[in-house]
Amino acid sequence: MKLHKYIPALCLATLALASCEKDGDTIYANGITDTELGTQASDIVLDADRLDALVLSVYWNDNGDISLSDPEVAAPSQVVANTIQFASDEAFANVVDENLNQGIYFRQYTCRALNNIMGRLGLEGGVKATVYVRVKSSLGANIEPKYSNVLTISVTPYLIDLTVGYYLDEGQNETGIILSSPEANGIYSGFVGAASWGHFWLREGNGTIWGNDGVTGTAFVLGNSTTGNDIWNCWYPGVTGCYYVTVDTPANEWSALLIPEITVGGDYSGSMTYDRNSNSWSMNVTAAAAGPAGMTLSTTGKLYNVATGTDDAAAIDTPMYFGIENGVLTFSATPQAPVTVNLAAGENTLVLDLNKPGEWTFATGEAPDVVEVPATVFLPGITEPWDFNSILKLYDEDNRNYGGVNYVKSEWGYQIAVEKDNWADYYSMVDGGTAFSGKLEYQGKTNIAAPAEGIYLFDVSLSGLSYKLTPITSVSYTGLNDDWNIHPMTATDSPCVFTAEMTKTANTPWGVKILLNDSWELFFGGNGTPGELALYRDGFEGDNDFPEGTVIILTVDLAKGTYSYTAK
């Protein structure tokens, strides 16, 4: 499609009526004069292949300064609030408002943003429609606003497909995963292979991005990019595996049904094995003869939602079943008849492919190659003599990111080994790296440069082949007793062990976090296992076991990734 840019001429707007008082006198402001709008283009065709292209710009002069009748009185600046209004009718009965912060006197729209507005107006994709645009200027809540003249333009939106939701990674990048909304009702669902405490966003076809509501901070409560409120990425519980995800945008909440196993019954029986990389389950069977076989597929999932949060103990047991309806594989809470699969004589691999909603398959095929991601890597060489006692723990399985705090006192540099006591399989530094950051290569010739003696936060990506070190200058805790101030911890004779003494005075509903360098960006939480720390996770528990008034000592070993509480 051809894409036209709409660039209206510079428009004029003046000021509103206001009053204030000086020594009992009433001071008057000049009233708002008419705002003049103009345009050089009248026909805009939006193109879904150029979502980030600039298609519309609206400008007007600085009408935020107010002049008063008494020149000795200082007038406030930027008091006029401007709103750009789009409507599908001349009376502006069906209108979309775009509010602007004070001090802003222009607004630019990309193809994606303008098409989103057209969708909110209810315009049909692929059909040219007349759209009306004006500027509303307001000086106060109790003062009648003034409106500019109305621009009339033609816009042809591109078709918005609301049957598909695009699953984005932590950085809002495309993943290739989609969730489906067959009824186009804002409820999207599908199977996702998720990492422990993994993050995601969902983008609808109209460009709206959904994440976790940042106002309440409650797990599984949704917020979106159109409200102007803070939103965070959504996060999974601390269990890696197969999840059936439902994002219910009308209800502003989502849920994650963990599928721990799939049981096969009928002509053949057994348990299927899940591969997260291919988002599929597989099982081997041996058929005495070629022909059709009927098998049932069932599971008892663990449902996490707004009521349960990410608490594993609170997750709801939920029986679910696969079946066939109109030739399409389904997933529901109702027991289903066996699914028929044609087997060859001898060995067969059954594969349940869950990648595309509405196109799931259960048939014979080849089992995927399972890639094992180790839970820890090792740092031989960061102290003398070289050994495998210093570790980094996996915190992002999708990107094979490892992190942790370790004491460094190295003469010859160090390596990153992928298996304990295995000196052959390691990563080393690409030439040009420094002690604090650089690129990695497998079995290279140059050890990773070591920094000066001290304790450091290591952040290593074996997927991105990179490393980063941050010197640790302080260790603190926050969240205990529901107190989110930052409290310093005391170093001990062991370089990575820190303690803090406190009195238990209140419940700790959100757990405790350990902050590094007093930074909310560098922290340890818990991984769901009592006594174990994990990078960039929710707070850990344990202090609520003590009655109020108890003096307790919190001890953390950042090198081992552990914590403990003791009563004094």
In DSSP notation, 392-445 reads EEEEETTTTEEEEEEEE--SS-B-EESSTT-SSSEEEEPTT--SSEEEEEET-S
Query: In the predicted model, is pLDDT for residue 132 greater than 70?
Result: yes
136-161 average pLDDT score: 80
pLDDT of residue 476: 97
pLDDT band, very low/low/confident/very high, at 216 (cuts 50, 70, 90): confident
More confident call, 20 vs 359: 359
Lowest mean pLDDT among 42-51, 237-246, 340-349, 470-479: 42-51
Contacts of 557 (CB under 8 A, 6+ apart): 494, 496, 497, 563
pLDDT band, very low/low/confident/very high, at 33 (cuts 50, 70, 90): very low
Contacts of 533 (CB under 8 A, 6+ apart): 514, 524, 525, 526, 527, 540, 556, 558, 561, 562, 563
Query: In the predicted model, is pLDDT for residue 540 greater than 80?
Result: yes
Distance CA 536, CA 448 (A): 25
Distance CA 156, CA 566 (A): 68
pLDDT of residue 470: 97
- Residue type at position 42: S
pLDDT of residue 75: 42
Distance CA 414, CA 378 (A): 10
Structure tokens at 247: 């994002």
Whether 567 contacts 414, CB under 8 Å? no
188-203 average pLDDT score: 92
pLDDT of residue 2: 30
Query: In the predicted model, is pLDDT for residue 99 greater than 90?
Result: no
Distance CA 29, CA 139 (A): 11
220-234 average pLDDT score: 85
Nearest to residue 441, comparing CAs of 423, 416, 459, 414? Answer: 416
pLDDT band, very low/low/confident/very high, at 29 (cuts 50, 70, 90): very low
pLDDT band, very low/low/confident/very high, at 568 (cuts 50, 70, 90): confident
Query: In the predicted model, is pLDDT for residue 222 greater than 50?
Result: yes
Lowest mean pLDDT among 13-17, 156-160, 407-411, 450-454: 13-17
277-294 average pLDDT score: 94
**Cβ neighbours around 515 below 10 Å, total:** 21
Q: What is the pLDDT of residues 56-91, one digit of tens each?
A: 877 766 554 444 444 454 444 445 677 889 999 999
pLDDT of residue 15: 32
Taking all residues of the chain, what is their mean pLDDT, rounded to a whole number? Answer: 86
pLDDT band, very low/low/confident/very high, at 42 (cuts 50, 70, 90): low
pLDDT of residue 346: 95
More confident call, 103 vs 32: 103
pLDDT band, very low/low/confident/very high, at 28 (cuts 50, 70, 90): very low
pLDDT band, very low/low/confident/very high, at 30 (cuts 50, 70, 90): very low
- Residue type at position 281: W
pLDDT band, very low/low/confident/very high, at 256 (cuts 50, 70, 90): very high
pLDDT of residue 301: 97
- Percent of the chain clearing pLDDT 70 (strictly above): 87
Lowest mean pLDDT among 136-140, 202-206, 279-283: 136-140
pLDDT band, very low/low/confident/very high, at 399 (cuts 50, 70, 90): confident
Nearest to residue 187, comparing CAs of 168, 165, 209? Answer: 165
Secondary structure class of 319 (helix, strand, coil): strand
Query: In the predicted model, is pLDDT for residue 269 greater than 80?
Result: yes
Lowest mean pLDDT among 19-33, 88-102, 206-220, 297-311: 19-33
Query: In the predicted model, is pLDDT for residue 395 greater than 80?
Result: yes
Q: What is the pLDDT of residues 400-443, one digit of tens each?
A: 899 999 999 999 999 999 999 999 899 999 999 999 999 999 99
Measured between its terminal Cα atoms, the distance across the chain in Å is: 74
pLDDT band, very low/low/confident/very high, at 104 (cuts 50, 70, 90): low
Contacts of 354 (CB under 8 A, 6+ apart): 190, 191, 242, 279, 280, 281, 360
Angle subtended at Cα 213 by Cα 108 and Cα 180, rounded to the nearest 5 degrees: 80
More confident call, 105 vs 499: 499
Distance CA 157, CA 124 (A): 7
Whether 55 contacts 6, CB under 8 Å? yes
More confident call, 65 vs 119: 119
pLDDT of residue 296: 97
pLDDT of residue 162: 85
pLDDT of residue 318: 98
